[in-house]
Amino acid sequence: MGPSRTASRVLARPFTLGVLAAIQVVSVSGALARKKPEQVPRSVRVEVYWGTKKNREAYRAELERSIVADLLEKSCFEQVVEGGKADLVLDVQLNNFDTEQIYDTAETLLPGQGEEHTLLSARASINLDYWLRPASKENQDILSGHIFREIVREPQAPVDPVEQRALRDLTADTSRWVARDLCDRRSRLLSKVRDAGD
């Protein structure tokens, strides 16, 4: 009876240590997974405006909303402010925002017939520049960039609102690029903001 009790104790000890080691690995990896990249300890306000070539106000407003949402999701700034005071300003100048529909026209027409058009695709493109600067120093750029994006969508059904879909996809794609450009190189962003001071 004595030897078997000793054997069971010897077997139980490595199993217990193995379980404890596994728990420690899980808790350490869980803590690492939860650790977020360092935030820029500043608030930022997004201002999207037209350059010399203006288009619809709805396009500008929707892009501004989309950039704000993507910056909030990226969580690279301490706070994203809409329409209030902030430490930093992200100026986004829309140089060009174009839409175009491409139609297929019937080749054979009888006299007096109206021309028939079939929408083949809708194209939307955007060209913008952005500058991140301290709110108190309009002429000091912390970071700047240029983005050109183009989306082409084809109708999926006879009544598919393909132009609206192209515009919606372009807006989402462009705002993701702006947020990525600013936030994905977090150490560079932090360093530039610190160099700029208050």
- 2 domain residue, yes or no: no
Mean pLDDT of 9-24: 49
Mean pLDDT of 172-197: 91
Domain span at residue 188?
A: 40-106+114-196
Beta strand segments in the chain, E: 40-50, 77-81, 88-105, 117-134, 143-153
- 133 domain residue, yes or no: yes
How many Å apart are CA 146 and CA 131, to the nearest integer?
A: 9
Tell me what the pLDDT averaged over the chain comes to.
81
pLDDT category of residue 103 using cuts at 50, 70 and 90: confident
What sections of 44-161 are H helices per DSSP? 57-74
- 31 domain residue, yes or no: no
- 185 domain residue, yes or no: yes
How many Å apart are CA 135 and CA 94, to the nearest integer?
A: 20
Angstrom CA distances, 145 to 5, 128, 131, 177, 181, stand at: 72, 8, 7, 10, 8
- 128 domain residue, yes or no: yes
- 30 domain residue, yes or no: no
pLDDT tens for 61-102 read 999 999 999 999 999 999 999 888 999 999 999 999 988 887
Q: Pick from 129, 139, 118: which is nearest to 52 by CA?
A: 129
- 13 domain residue, yes or no: no
Domain count, the chain: 1
CATH of the domain at 92: 3.30.160.150
- 150 domain residue, yes or no: yes
pLDDT tens for 107-148 read 554 555 555 567 778 899 999 999 999 998 888 899 999 999
pLDDT tens for 34-57 read 566 788 999 999 999 999 999 899
Mean pLDDT of 152-172: 86
* pTM given for the model: 0.73
